[in-house]
Amino acid sequence: MEERMSEENIEEVRVLEAQIERLQAEVAVLQGQQQDNNMDITFHLKGQMQDAMSYVCGRKQGGGKEKVLSKLKEEVEELEEDLKWQTRMNAISLDSCTTKTLQSSGSKLVQQLCVSGHCSELVFQVEFQLSEVKEGQGSKRMISDLNVVMDDSDLQSFSSFLSGVEESSDLLLLFRTLRTFSDRCEDRCRTFQHFQEKYPSVVSLPGGCRSEVMALNHPELPGCILFAHWSVEVSREGAVAPKINLLTKIPERALQLFPSQPVGGAAEAFQSLLRILGPEAALESVIRAVSLSQHT
């Protein structure tokens, strides 16, 4: 009985040893295949890297270093021309752009960007985070933590809009509205300069041509001044519109000399002219009315 059990144990050990040998052989085959695959990949990548380095260094067959440099120069010139075209179209010039990588993995890339530039006379700096997440075959980009700094002390009407843009991180709305706002400010500046040159004895610009105020000095009443206050209002949704009011400065003595004259009617009449004629024509009507009084 004991001999029979011993023979059975020996047989089982032989079977297990055979299985172990087969498994070891399979492992050796798999290891060999893995090494071959790694070598193929290494050689393939090495070949690609060598081709790329040879191309950059000018050692690729069919072209020398001069040809590579010429091609790079053409690409740079094309990029510069494209940048000029974009600047002319958008009226926005970028002065600098810095990028800092905050997170980088196989599926997600997070970068901190800081962009500075100007739109006409408006100088700006924009900071934001750009996240790129891979989704299947494509990727999705998102903007967050938007912060806008404008280098101009006279932007009260723009502050509410900037707050809304920072909350929504709507970078496209920011630049689109910035250009429209700048264009309206330029319209005001050109109009003020035009009237000052055309009516130098009447029109003055106390804060310069880029300010919101144009003064009309009444020649017959010293100290009596009409102020055209032209602001550019911006809503939180990015709607840009001019807002012009006519204000009066009349000394108390002058009011006593003309107690029956409705002083407040000038502002109301000017608003009626605005609705009918528009900003430039309405302002010139007031200026000409003041100018004519010099010859009466």
Which of 7-21, 40-54, 102-116, 215-229 holds the top average pLDDT?
102-116
DSSP 219: S
Residue 205: the pLDDT is 92
Domain boundary assignment for the chain = 90-182, 183-295
Helix ranges (H only) for 91-198 are 156-168, 171-198
User: 243-291 pLDDT, tens per residue?
Assistant: 999 888 765 555 555 454 555 567 788 888 888 888 899 999 888 887 7
Residue 63 has pLDDT above 70, yes or no: no
Taking the CB of residue 16, how many other CB atoms lie within 10 A of it? 10
Please give the structure tokens belonging to residue 293: 């009084």
Burial class (CB in 10 A: 0-12, 13-18, 19+), 285: middle
User: 176-225 pLDDT, tens per residue?
Assistant: 898 889 889 899 999 999 999 999 988 999 888 888 999 988 766 677 78
Query: For the residues 19-38, what does the mean pLDDT come to?
Result: 63
Residue 60 has pLDDT above 90, yes or no: no
Radius of gyration of the chain (CA): 38
- Banded model confidence at residue 68, pLDDT cuts 50, 70, 90: low
Longest dimension (CA), the chain: 146
Residue 90 has pLDDT above 70, yes or no: no
- pLDDT mean across residues, the chain: 76
Closest CA to 261 of 236, 224, 292, 296: 224
Please give the structure tokens belonging to residue 140: 């999705």
